[in-house]
Amino acid sequence: MEHRAFSSKVIYQIYPKSFMDSDGDGLGDLGGIIRKLDYLEGLGADLLWLTPVFPSPQRDNGYDVADYCAIDPRFGTMADMEELIRQSGSRGMGIMLDMVFNHTSTSHPWFQKALAGEKEYQDYYIFREGPPDRCPTNWQSKFGGPAWEYLPALKKWYLHLFDVTQADLNWDNPRVREELKNVIRFWKDKGVQGFRFDVINLVSKPEVLEDDFTGDGRRFYSDGPHIHEYLKELVRDTGIGDMVTVGEMSSTSLDNCIRYSSPQEQELSMCFNFHHLKVDYAHGDKWSLMEPDRMALKELFRAWQLGMQDGGGWNALFWCNHDQPRIVSRLGDEGRFRTESAKMLAASIHLMRGTPYIYQGEELGMTNAHYQDISQYRDVESLNYYRILLDQGKTWEEALGILAARSRDNSRTPMQWSAGQNAGFTAGTPWIMVIDNYPAINVENQKADPQSVYGFYKKLVALRKEKTVISHGRIAFLEEENPDVLAYERTLGDGTGAGVDSKKQIPEGRSGLKEDQHLVVLCNLTARDITIPAAPAWAGYGKLLGNYEGAPKFTGDKAERDSGRYTAGGGYLVLRPFEVVVLEQGAS
């Protein structure tokens, strides 16, 4: 059995700008979060991850930080942050802050001093000399265009892997690493309970920067040369080894994530990786649409779940965040089966091995924005790519169609609290348009309805705390050749490993192993009925959870079907559209 203090925790992600506005300026704020703490406690969240609320020009909605140890007045004051930490603490919830350490805003005093010619601060960033008409390397920015910007006054280029106003820090300079440690110490002293590290696996660049003739440069700096060394140093020197820490890992590998998150390495608690969210990128390109490749999705889950389990690493489990379109619009169904598919998708990851994250509104089954006009978009990446797509010869209808599927603004629309004005988010004019389905999809409706998506998330959160097989058990996959069904089992028991080998049937008579806990999770990823063979080992199992009322649709004999228990040694289970069935040994 694995002992990780955080394995039964669930983390809720707040995008403060779009969560709740307490002062009517159309932007969410810390006061708004404080007002909603009862809601978050009711859901069962343990930690609240806030995306950046530090002073920032907001070119990239706060991921362009101008001061790491202060609060942007748009979001409130330091006193508000202290109050939020205090009030969430008294409800048993911790605050997790977002540390954006790959880059600073070019408005940050360090960059300003570098611009003014101070050599000491130029060493904080990645400057290169060179002719003004030729970038030092051909690397591409992740938001489109070259990753270098020329400063005529200094006759130097600086590196920016993201927006031109987000200058990459030079982690090879020990002074930079010391400055960043002080930021962590500052917030740790304020009482925050966890940290999320933004694109942390990009911070270690190679000593010699060279052109990339096969890609956009990422292979040189993703999981770069000194990354493990730097992370160990950061964690050791700030004493955050016992806190909950998660690294956002861009274009990473399983081997590196095992190292980032296995306890003996003393780096981080867990990692976000994004491979499973690229299964609908044609040729790996975010801006080329295709139907999701479900087989690829299943294979990725299998590889990462088993790989992290065998290597002793730990996954952050998530579908949604502030950079991803809404999952119900992407892999589920926004129409007839919205509720069913939102619940199935929730269960599919919450019952895996790792720590689940819920992104605001996901617990309601919120959908994509369906904006029709470029003026409705706010995100720098979306606006850049709109231009790039037009330059590539796409019509504006085509470009808007791509943004509608891929824009990060899909997840940044205001939280839908009620059917009232602006979905109850603000009394003013929201900074980004509310989705017009808020009268039907909102917190107020769903809290009153135990069958709602919200009610289902609440159950999932509670189950993780109740069942050690979910928080601590091993995982093995079933139905591996079937593209339509994601299926796995979780086992906690006597250490025989029975049930862990996914190729083997679970031996009958396992119920004799009294210590064992065993769950089977079966998810229909499609809008059709899918029939799968029912394993004899499910004899005596009952339904622990599902998104259809009543008994699972076994095609055994009638008495069994009616009782919801399956006791025969053969037969089939029909999974209805987007159905999830969770069977548990001994449940009734």
Residue 72 CA neighbour count, 13 Å, CB half: 21
C-alpha span between 407 and 386 (Å, rounded): 10
Q: How far is the CB of 557 from ligand GLC (least distance, A)?
A: 52
Nearer to ligand GLC, 183 or 534 (CB): 183
| 340 versus 379: smaller Cβ distance to ligand GLC | 379
Cβ atoms of 409 and 375 closer than 8 Å: no
Under the binding rule (CB under 6 A), the answer on residue 323 touching ligand GLC is yes
The yes-or-no answer on residue 207 being catalytic is no
3-state secondary structure of 478: strand
Residue 142 CB, nearest approach to ligand GLC (Å): 7
Residues 6+ apart with CB under 8 A from 12: 40, 43, 45, 47, 48, 49, 357, 358, 359, 360
Nearest approach, Cβ of 173 to ligand GLC (angstroms)? 20
280 phi/psi in degrees, rounded to 5:
-115, 20
User: Measured from the CB atom, is 184 or 535 closer to ligand GLC?
Assistant: 184
Q: What is the longest distance spanned by two Cα atoms in the chain? A: 83
- Indicate if 248 belongs to the active site: yes
If one asks whether residue 409 binds ligand GLC (CB under 6 A), the answer comes out as: no
SS3 sequence of 58-115: CCCCCCCCCCCCCCCCCCCCHHHHHHHHHHHHHCCCEEEEEECCCEEECCCHHHHHHH
State in angstroms the smallest separation of the CB of 502 from ligand GLC. 33
Are 267 and 235 within 8 A, CB to CB? yes
Token digits for 277?
């969210």
Q: How far apart are CB 13 and ligand GLC at their closest, in Å?
A: 10
- The contact mask relative to ligand GLC for 483-522 (x = CB under 6 A, - = no) is ----------------------------------------
- In the bound state with ligand GLC, the residue whose beta carbon lies nearer, of 230 and 566, is 230
Closest CA to 400 of 422, 418, 417, 382: 382
Choose between 361 and 493: whose C-beta lies nearer to ligand GLC.
361
Can residue 63 be called a binding residue for ligand GLC (CB under 6 A)? yes
Smallest gap from residue 161 Cβ to ligand GLC (A)? 8
Compute the distance between CA of residue 170 and CA of residue 175 in angstroms, rounded to an integer: 9
- Near ligand GLC in 244-283, by CB under 6 A: 248
We find the least distance from the C-beta atom of residue 202 to ligand GLC, in angstroms, to be 9
Binding of ligand GLC by 100 (CB under 6 A): yes
Name the residue whose CB lies closest to ligand GLC. 63
How many alpha carbons fall within 13 Å on the CB side of residue 219? 8
According to CB under 6 A, which one of 6, 49, 68, 162 is a site residue for ligand GLC? 162
The residue from 198, 223, 280, 409 that is catalytic is: 198
Residue 424: what residue type?
G
For ligand GLC, give the closer residue by CB, 107 or 262.
107
Residue from 21, 29, 46, 60 binding ligand GLC (CB under 6 A): 60
Work out how close the CB of 32 gets to ligand GLC at its nearest, in angstroms, rounded to a whole number.
20
Nearer of residues 187 and 337 to ligand GLC, judged by Cβ: 187
Is position 199 an interface residue for ligand GLC (rule: CB under 6 A)? yes
Q: Which of 21, 72, 248, 584 is catalytic?
A: 248
Site string for ligand GLC, 210-249 (x = CB under 6 A): --------------------------------------x-
Q: List all residues 6 or more positions away from 392 whose beta carbon is below 8 Å from its beta carbon.
A: none
CA–CA separation, 322 vs 94, rounded Å? 20
**Closest CB to ligand GLC among residues 98, 267:** 98
Structure tokens at 398: 């085509």
Angle of CA points 53, 58, 63, to nearest 5°? 60
Least CB distance to ligand GLC at residue 538 (A): 41
* Cα-based distances in Å from 148 to 49, 56, 161, 340, 482: 31, 21, 8, 46, 46
Name the residue nearer to ligand GLC (CB basis): 137 or 250. 250
Residues in binding contact with ligand GLC, number by CB under 6 A? 9
Distance CA 248, CA 252 (A): 9
Task: Provide DSSP, 258-298.
Answer: HHHH-GGG-S-SEEE--GGGGTTBGGG-TTSB----HHHHH
Among 72, 149, 168, 198, binds ligand GLC (CB under 6 A): 198
> What type of residue is 122?
Q
Active site residues: 198, 248
In the complex, the residues that contact ligand GLC under the rule CB under 6 A are 60, 63, 100, 162, 198-199, 248, 322-323
